[in-house]
Every structure is written in C-alpha cells, then in structure tokens.
Amino acid sequence: MKKTTSKIYVCLSFLAVIVLFYSCEKDITVNLPTQEQKYVVEGYIENGMPAYVLLSKTADYFAPVDSASLMKYMVKDATVIISDGTITDTLLMASPDIGYFYYSPNIIGQTGKDYSLKIITAENKIITAETHMLPAIPLDSVWFKIQEGKDSLGFVWAHLNDPDTLGNCYRWFAKRLGKDKSFIPPPGSVFDDRFINGKGFNFAFNRGQVPNSTAKDDNNDEAGFFKTGDTIEVKFCTITQESYKFWRQAESQSAGSGGPFGSTAEIPTNITGGIGIFEAFNPTFYTVIAKKPN
C-alpha cells in the first residue's frame, strides 16, 4: 500500500509541475525598433573597364524578401557623378524604371588615377567617396594541385612575391569556363601583407560559389573544390586598404551565424553619407587547366 501511495504521489507531483509550467505560458509581443534607413553604395572601377555604381537602401532585418519588396530598396533618379581628375562624368541609369545600376561610358579605370564620387539623391541627400587605383602586383605562378585523399578534386595554388613595402592588399576571384557565369570570390578572399611583407610564399584558395546556389557540384562532395578537366581563370586583384578592411569584415559577417542574436560588428566604409564601398582595383589574369600530374 505504501508503494502504491508513493507512486501516486510522484505522478501527481509530476502532473502538477506540468500544469504549473503550462499555466505560466504567455504570449509576448516584442516591438523591434525600426532602424534608420541608409543609402548603400557599391562603386567599382577596374583597370581598363568602365566605372559603375550600384545604389540601394538598407532594409529592416525582418522585412519581407521578394521581388516586389526588393524593388523598393533600389534607388532611381539619383545624380551620380565620378571624376578621375581629368574627366567628370554623370553616370547613366541602365534601366530608368528601376534605377540601381548606374554606369559611365567615359570613366575608364587607369593605374595611378584618383577617383571621386558624388551622389545627389532625389531627396537632395549628398553622398561622397574617394579611391585610388594602385599598380597591379602580379602572381609569380599559378597551378592546380589535387588535394590529398581526393582522386580528382583539388585547389588552385599560386606563388606571390610580395614587395618590400608594408600595406599591400589583395583579393582573389576565380571562375570555371563553361560552368560559372562570372568570377566568384571564395570565403576569405582578401588578405594583406602584415605577416608576409617582402616575402615569397605559396598559398591556395578553395572554389567559391554564388550565394544559395542549387548547382549539384555546390551541394555534394565537390563543393569548394575544382575538378580535373576544369579550365579555371583566376582574377588576382591589388586593392586598397579601405577595400581590404571592408571585404574582410563583410565576409566575416557573412560567414557568421546570420541569426538576429548573433554577434555583429560595424563594417568599415569609405562612403560619407551612406555605407558600402567605392573602390578602384587592379587585376591580373591567369588561366589554369586542372589535370592530374604526369
């Protein structure tokens, strides 16, 4: 009888705890503060190529993401002006109904040039930035190497002789001819010469992929690898320290948890009156055929 009574007491106690917790449930509504909307500038000047600017606005973290809402963040009817010290050009909108993409047929990237950007929005907000195109620092050699333990998968390797001047910064892109539509930066695509100043060294990068890719080789054992038979074009860029700091932090944030409670840090910018980056960069190109060693 005592054992039965004891069991009944334990069961009743357990049920009481459940009822207690259930009765304590309460719907809580959290009113998240609305962030000040800012202009986002992505301005690019590549050596030998026309300058262009992508202009948009920030969105709240929980704002809807669809084609209709994205159109609201694209900025049109802005006056976008770039000067290289000799030519001053007002950029054209590729699609006046959308805005967002502004391009210059007259400002062509050139080594050693200083560039200034001025944007006047439809609300008469002024946004400015400056950048400089540094001389290109080329790679000494580039090659494909199969990763240990893999039969046909590997990485692209390169040898760089960094000049003996502290402060050089670099960014790596690559694409597979016939497979990738554009050059893709891998995670951690930027680095500086803080620890390798004036030295020669070998390094490798894995294969990058476009965000949210559904391609088969981005979602199986081939993800992050190049494969024998690939023809790979490498784009190795000399960039400014401002560009390096921006992309280092941007890639770090992108690789983080991504959740609303994850740790975040402010991304450095050289834009006055907005956020983003206005950069001039100087690339060198290399073609590598991925094949097994003889």
Kindly compute the dihedral angle of the four CA atoms of residues 236, 238, 242, 248, in this order, to the nearest 10 degrees: 30
Residue that terminates a domain, selected from 87, 106, 132 = 132
Report the mean per-residue pLDDT for the chain. 89
Is 247 a domain residue? no
The string of DSSP letters for 133-177 reads -PPP---SEEEEEEPTT-SSEEEEEEEEE--SSTT-EEEEEEEET
Residue ending a domain, choose from 104, 132, 160: 132
Cα gap 230→109, rounded to integer Å: 30
The model's pLDDT over 199-236, given as tens digits with 9 standing for 90+, comes to 999 999 999 999 989 999 999 999 999 999 999 999 99
* pLDDT tens digits, one per residue of 149-191: 999 999 999 999 999 999 999 999 999 999 999 999 999 999 9
Are the C-beta atoms of residues 205 and 185 closer than 8 Å to each other?
A: no
Kindly indicate the confidence band of residue 263, based on its pLDDT and cuts at 50, 70 and 90: low
Residue numbers of the domain that contains 104:
39-132
Best-predicted range by mean pLDDT (20-29, 32-41, 259-268, 279-288): 279-288
Residue 88, C-beta contacts closer than 8 angstroms, at least 6 positions apart: 81, 82
**Do 150 and 179 fall within a single domain?**
yes
Q: Are 69 and 152 part of one and the same domain? A: no
Give the pair of three-digit tokens for residue 60.
């709240």
Last residue of a domain, one of 98, 132, 166: 132
pLDDT digits (tens, 9 = 90+) for 39-62: 999 999 999 999 999 999 998 877
Query: Does residue 274 belong to any structural domain of this protein?
Result: no
Residue 163 falls inside a structural domain: yes
Same domain, yes or no: 83 and 160: no
Q: Mean pLDDT throughout 234-245? A: 98
The encoded tokens of residue 74 equal 């694209």
Whether residue 8 is contained in a domain is answered as no
Residue found under tokens 């705890």: 17
Beta pairing partners, 130 = 116
Average pLDDT over residues 76-86: 97
Lowest-confidence segment of 7-11, 76-80, 271-275 by average pLDDT: 7-11
Structural domain tally of the chain?
Answer: 2
DSSP labels, the chain: -HHHHHHHHHHHHHHHHHHHHHHT-------PPPPPP-EEEEEEEEBTSEEEEEEEE---TTS--SHHHHHHHB--S-EEEEE-SS-EEEPEES-TTT--EEEEEEEEB-TT-EEEEEEE-TT--EEEEEEE-PPP---SEEEEEEPTT-SSEEEEEEEEE--SSTT-EEEEEEEETTT-SS-BPPTT-EEESTTTTT-EEEEEE-----TT---GGGSSTTTT-EETT-EEEEEEEEE-HHHHHHHHHHHHHHTS--STTS---PPP---BSSEEEEEEEEEEEEEEE-----
Residues whose CB falls within 8 Å of the CB of residue 265, separated by 6 or more in sequence, listed in order: 249, 252, 253
**Does 230 lie in the same domain as 185?**
yes
Amino acid at 52: Y
* Residue 136 pLDDT: 98
Rounded to two decimals, what is the model's pTM? Answer: 0.85
Same domain, 122 and 145: no
For residue 94, what is the domain's CATH number? 2.60.40
